[in-house]
């Protein structure tokens, strides 16, 4: 039982990264009916921006310009890097997606992929191939709760990501901007005629998604403090799988499916040899999609009557 | 045939250089290129010396210009003297003769004329590649890229699905073919002693490739069957999951070396072999997409329910298209494994996927000639920009983004690959013949 609980905690932590990234995919999809394939690399960019912000703040503190505790630095790092990375998202929308809004959807997928490659390579060219170590902002404590080991980092990751998801949910449901987004996802042809500009809503969606990915990146840096330019590829594609599994365009579905994918991966690694992790996890995904092709929360979709 | 009389032709009549070259048939260009290749073969070294180049510029001087900008005039002169002038002048001078020959050929069966053109093309490639092994490898890889791009174009372009499983099909083909040849022909640590002598290699190699293609086509069933119920994004995920599964499966199979990969394939993929398979691939795929089955694919892409109402069996169509595309991807993978003589599962990952997708969408959807242009262009571009090191991977994506913005369906999209028209003589008027 403790073994199970232990892995549950691990799965929650691992799943929250997937969930945070999958949210960005899903939100962009719900507005533009397109997937932002640069999103995994935006996650990477967010982690690197977080690294820069954290190092800068730490330098300011050690040189005596500012006096603040380490946890405040972490909070500031998350907020500032979310803010800065959202501009990367806006840029991606402006360069890669707005000119292609009327083009075939696959073309926009290609530009997304290519922007992702540019982000990776640009990073490599700027910072070199050495991996960077995320500055240790909080000292790791381990708590023993009835045989289950919790670290404060794990608790932090899970709490912050769930908090962000709840905040997003409130934003989408309670604010006027959120209402505009929901309307746009309902029909992006008619709603612009009602005075809601798609050129405002689409960049905003990209910005929010990128901000969430950046938060995921910083948290990832806290939990696994090694950054390299290609860290976003695999996790990004897996989060894309989670976004589809949740049902495209469904925000809650994306979050839940992100956690589910984390659970599947951790528990597969727990029961089977860990080299089989991808094999079994993706086989499960394949089986789920064969029987439920529209994901968990997606609208049922018939190949015979296409919109 | 007589262009002077057509009013539309008169309006669009090209001027200057274009008019100077417009009377040259495909045969003429080939003859010119043969001359240039022979010229380089015999005069390349002294000429390169004379211009102060260390050796013959391998890829039209691009690499050397980027590496040492000071040598730029020399390299440009070399390209001008060896390639541009001979090709231009010889093909222009011989154009009356070549026009007459291709007029004669056009009265013969199409296959005969095609074989002659292909033989000339092969001659050019052979002589061109004899100068350095690097060119040889590049040519082989470009031809394999053509096969992969074309087969993905069948699924993504002609059928309009977004399939991400091509590296998976390739991996299946590569490993199946490798296991066959290594197991039968080579003394291998993992697969045991050779059963047959290596001299049988060239007989068995086609069987190995077809086996690889067959395995890939079997794998395609896994992707094709869910595609009956769903399209678009979900199919993208299913195919992506398939790719990950194949990669992960191979990593866990110790028989084929697991994540360390598999080496020691016999050197069977020579230039003629790859060339013949590439031509076969282009020929079959072009015939496939021109057939009623190909039209059915387009119908499924444009409107599935309407296609079904018009008595297209959509399930059968999808299944055949997937298996057909996967077969050629598997053959391409088998050739790939035998060209590099080493494969590992890491090769068939997301990077390969991005590359193949980029080639398809760069060249153009729904077009055989677009795929050829895309694959060759992308390969040569990425080799020519090699001296830029990692900045290459900033410039190429920017180029692709620009192509997507200005031509969203690719450079040469939705164009028929009309062999007869390409090979036909270009006659301006009867007097000139």
**B279: contact with A, CB 8 A cutoff:** no
Instruction: Judge whether residue B158 has pLDDT over 60.
Output: yes
- Residue B10 domain-assigned (yes or no): yes
Supply the CATH number for residue B232's domain: 1.10.3470
- Report domain extents, chain A: 24-232
Residue B180 lies in a domain: yes
Clarify whether residues B86 and B231 are in a common domain: no
For testing contact with chain A, the best of B251, B346, B401 (most A CBs within 10 A): B401
**Same domain (yes/no): B221, B315:** yes
Residue B273 lies in a domain: yes
Q: Is pLDDT of B87 > 70?
A: yes
| Two tokens, residue B238 | 């299913």
| Contact yes or no for B172/B238 (Cβ under 8 A) | no
Q: Torsions phi, psi of A133, nearest 5?
A: -105, 125
Closest alpha carbon within chain B to A100:
B405
Contact of A107 with B409, CB cutoff 8 Å = yes
Q: Do the chains contact at B222 and A286, CB–CB below 8 Å?
A: yes
Q: Which residues span the domain enclosing B8? A: 3-129
More confident residue, B392 or A18: A18
Burial class, A29, CB count within 10 angstroms (exposed 0-12 / middle 13-18 / buried 19+): buried
CA distance B105 to B151: 30
Work out the minimum CA distance from B41 to partner chain A, whole angstroms.
38
Task: Give the residue from chain A lying closest to B251, CA to CA.
Answer: A275
Q: What is the dihedral of CA B288, B294, B297, B303, to 10 degrees?
A: 170
Tell me: do B75 and B18 sit in the same domain: yes
Examine the domain organization and report whether B124 and B160 are in the same domain: no
Band of residue B101 on the pLDDT scale cut at 50, 70, 90: confident
CB B275 within 8 A of CB B147: no
Closest by Cβ to B230, choosing from A100, A105, A293: A293
- Using DSSP, state whether B333 is helix, strand or coil: helix
Facing B237 at nearest CB: one of A118, A289, A304: A289
Give the number of C-alpha atoms closer than 13 A to the C-alpha of residue B120, restricted to the C-beta side.
18
Span of A135-149, B29-43, B171-185 with lowest mean pLDDT: A135-149
Domain count of chain B? 2
| Residues of chain B found within 8 Å of residue A303, distances taken between Cβ atoms | 228-231, 304
A46-84 burial, b at 16+ Cβ within 10 Å, e below that, comes to bbbbbbbbbeebbeebeeeeeeeebeebbeebbebbbeb
Same domain, B150 and B11: no
**Pair A269, A3: CB distance under 8 Å:** no
pLDDT band at B428 (very low <50, low <70, confident <90, very high): low
pLDDT higher than threshold 60 for residue B429: no
Mean pLDDT, residues A233-260: 86
CB distance B245–A286 less than 8 Å? yes
Same structural domain, B48 and B109? yes
pLDDT score of B383 more than 90: no
Banded model confidence at residue A79, pLDDT cuts 50, 70, 90: very high
pLDDT at A253 over 70: yes
Q: Which of B 30-89 lie inside 8 A of A, CB atoms?
A: none
Domain end among B129, B152, B171? B129
Tokens matching residue B164: 């991400």
Interface with chain A: mutation pick from B396, B404, B411, B414, highest number of A CBs within 10 Å: B404
For B190-242, the pLDDT digits (tens) are: 777 777 788 888 888 999 999 999 999 999 988 888 777 766 777 888 888 89
In a domain, B165, yes or no: yes
Q: Hey, is A149 helix, strand or coil?
A: strand
Q: Is the pTM of this model over 0.80?
A: yes
- pLDDT grade, residue B109 (50/70/90)? confident
DSSP-derived secondary structure letter, B192: B
B115 φ/ψ sector (left φ>0, alpha ψ -120 to 50, else beta): alpha
Identify the H or E element spanning B262: strand B262-263
DSSP letter at B414 equals: S
Cα–Cα separations (whole angstroms), residue B50 to A174, B55, B136: 76, 10, 25
Render pLDDT for B315-365 as a digit per residue (tens, 0 to 9).
Answer: 899 999 999 999 999 999 999 999 999 999 988 988 899 899 999 999 988
When CB atoms are compared, the residue of A96, A121, A285 closest to B394 is A121
Contact A289 B394 (CB under 8 A): no
- Does A123 score more than 80 pLDDT? yes
Do B128 and B135 contact (CB within 8 A), yes or no? Answer: yes
Question: Cβ contacts (< 8 Å) between B313 and chain A: which residues?
Answer: none
Domain boundary among B129, B147, B169: B129
d(CA B143, CA B132): 17
- Whether residue B230 and residue A301 make contact (CB cut-off 8 A), yes or no, is yes
Q: What are A164-214's pLDDT values in tens digits?
A: 999 998 998 899 999 998 888 877 778 888 888 889 999 999 999 999 999
Most B CBs within 10 A among A114, A127, A230, hence the mutation to make, goes to A114
- Helices assigned H by DSSP within B51-109: 62-67, 72-79, 85-93, 95-107
| pLDDT value, residue B4 | 44
What number of residues does chain A have?
A: 307
Residues B73 and B151 in one domain: no
Tally of residues, chain B = 433
Tell me what pLDDT residue B125 has: 92
Residue A304 has pLDDT above 50, yes or no: no
- Angle made by CA atoms B70, B73, B77, in degrees to the nearest 5: 150
Contact present, B203 and B250 (Cβ < 8 Å): no
Return the sign of the alpha-carbon dihedral for residues B217, B218, B221, B222: negative
Rounded CA separation A46/A82 (Å): 7
Nearest-CA distance A94 → chain B (Å): 12
Residues B148, B76: one domain? no
Give dist(CA B363, CA A164) in Å, integer. Answer: 42
Measured between alpha carbons, how far is B196 from A59 in angstroms, rounded to an integer? 69
Q: Are residues B168 and B68 in the same domain?
A: no
Both tokens of B121, joined, read 């093309």
| Nearest residue of B to residue A111, measured between CA atoms | B401
**CA-based nearest residue in chain B for residue A92:** B401
Mean pLDDT score across all residues of chain B: 85
Helix/strand/coil for B428: coil
Q: Which residue of B has its CA nearest to A29?
A: B233
3-state secondary structure at position A227: strand
Q: Kindly state whether B156 is in contact with chain A, defined as any CB-CB distance less than 8 angstroms.
A: yes
Whole-angstrom Cα distance, residue A282 to residue B223?
13
Distance of residue B213 Cα from the nearest chain A Cα, in angstroms: 22
Question: Looking at A212-221, A260-269, B420-429, which range is the least confident one?
Answer: B420-429
Picking from B99, B129, B159, the residue at the C-terminal end of a domain is B129
Tell me the ipTM for this assembly: 0.85
Let me know whether B304 and B346 are in one domain: yes
Looking at the fold, whether B156 and B223 belong to one and the same domain comes out as yes
- The two beta strands, A132-133 and A226-227, are antiparallel
SS3 B84: helix
In a shared domain, residues B63 and B156: no
A-to-B residue pairs, Cβ atoms closer than 8 angstroms: 142
């Amino acid at each position: 039982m403790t073994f199970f609980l232990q892995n549950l905690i691990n799965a929650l932590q691992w799943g929250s990264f997937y969930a945070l990234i999958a949210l960005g995919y899903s939100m962009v999809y719900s507005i533009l009916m397109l997937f932002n394939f640069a999103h995994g690399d935006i996650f990477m960019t967010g982690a690197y921006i977080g690294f820069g912000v954290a190092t800068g703040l730490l330098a300011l503190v050690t040189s005596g310009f500012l006096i603040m505790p380490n946890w405040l630095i972490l909070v500031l790092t998350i907020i500032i890097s979310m803010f800065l990375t959202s501009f990367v998202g806006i840029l991606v929308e402006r360069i890669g997606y707005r000119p292609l809004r009327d083009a075939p959807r696959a073309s926009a997928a290609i530009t997304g992929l290519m922007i992702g490659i540019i982000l990776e390579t640009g990073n490599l060219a700027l910072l070199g191939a050495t991996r960077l170590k995320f500055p240790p902002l909080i000292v790791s404590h381990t708590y023993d709760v009835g045989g289950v080991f919790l670290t404060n980092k794990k608790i932090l990751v899970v709490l912050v990501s769930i908090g962000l998801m709840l905040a997003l949910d409130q934003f989408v449901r309670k604010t006027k901007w959120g209402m505009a987004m929901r309307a746009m996802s309902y029909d992006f042809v008619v709603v612009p005629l009602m005075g809601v500009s798609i050129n405002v809503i689409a960049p905003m969606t990209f910005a929010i998604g990128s901000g969430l990915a950046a938060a995921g990146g910083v948290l990832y840096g806290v939990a696994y403090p090694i950054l390299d330019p290609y860290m976003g590829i695999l996790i990004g594609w897996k989060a894309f799988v989670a976004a589809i599994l949740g049902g495209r365009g469904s925000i809650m579905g994306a979050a839940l499916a992100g956690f589910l994918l984390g659970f599947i991966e951790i528990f597969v690694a727990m029961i089977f040899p860990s080299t089989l992790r991808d094999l079994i996890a993706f086989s499960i995904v394949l089986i789920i999609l064969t029987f439920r092709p529209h994901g968990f929360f997606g609208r049922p979709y018939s190949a015979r009557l296409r919109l | 045939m007589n262009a002077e009389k057509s009013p539309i032709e008169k309006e669009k009549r090209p001027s200057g250089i274009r008019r100077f070259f417009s009377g040259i048939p495909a045969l003429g260009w080939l003859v010119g290129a043969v001359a240039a290749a022979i010229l380089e073969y015999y005069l390349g070294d002294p000429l390169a010396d004379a211009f102060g180049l260390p050796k013959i510029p391998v890829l039209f001087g691009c690499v050397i210009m980027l590496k040492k900008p000071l040598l730029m005039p020399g390299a440009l002169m070399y390209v001008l003297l060896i390639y541009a002038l001979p090709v231009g002048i010889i093909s222009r001078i011989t154009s009356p003769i070549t026009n007459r020959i291709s007029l004669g050929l056009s009265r013969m069966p199409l296959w005969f004329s095609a074989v002659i053109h292909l033989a000339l093309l092969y001659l050019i490639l052979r002589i061109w590649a004899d100068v350095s092994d690097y060119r040889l490898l590049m040519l082989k890889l470009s031809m394999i890229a053509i096969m992969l791009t074309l087969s993905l174009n069948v699924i993504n372009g002609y059928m309009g699905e977004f399939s991400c499983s091509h590296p998976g099909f390739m991996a299946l083909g590569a490993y199946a073919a490798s296991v066959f040849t290594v197991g039968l022909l080579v003394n291998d640590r993992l697969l045991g002693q050779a059963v047959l002598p290596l001299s049988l290699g060239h007989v068995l190699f086609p069987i190995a490739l077809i086996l690889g293609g067959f395995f890939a086509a079997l794998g395609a069933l896994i992707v094709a069957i869910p595609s009956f119920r769903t399209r678009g994004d979900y199919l993208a995920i299913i195919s992506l999951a398939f790719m990950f599964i194949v990669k992960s499966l191979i990593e866990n199979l110790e028989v084929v070396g697991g994540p360390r990969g598999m080496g020691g394939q016999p050197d069977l993929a020579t230039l003629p072999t790859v060339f013949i398979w590439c031509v076969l691939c282009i020929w079959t795929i072009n015939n496939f997409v021109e057939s009623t089955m190909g039209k059915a694919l387009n119908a499924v892409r444009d409107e599935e329910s309407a296609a079904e109402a018009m008595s297209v069996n959509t399930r059968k169509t999808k299944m055949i298209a997937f298996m057909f595309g996967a077969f050629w991807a598997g053959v391409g993978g088998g050739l790939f494994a035998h060209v590099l003589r080493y494969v590992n599962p890491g090769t068939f990952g997301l990077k390969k996927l991005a590359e193949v997708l980029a080639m398809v969408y760069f060249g153009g959807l729904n077009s055989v000639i677009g795929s050829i242009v895309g694959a060759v262009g992308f390969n040569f571009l990425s080799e020519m920009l090699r001296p830029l090191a990692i900045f290459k991977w900033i410039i190429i994506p920017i180029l692709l983004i620009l192509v997507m913005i200005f031509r969203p369906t690719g450079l040469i999209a939705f164009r028929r690959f009309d062999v007869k028209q390409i090979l036909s003589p270009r006659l301006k008027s009867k007097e000139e013949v």
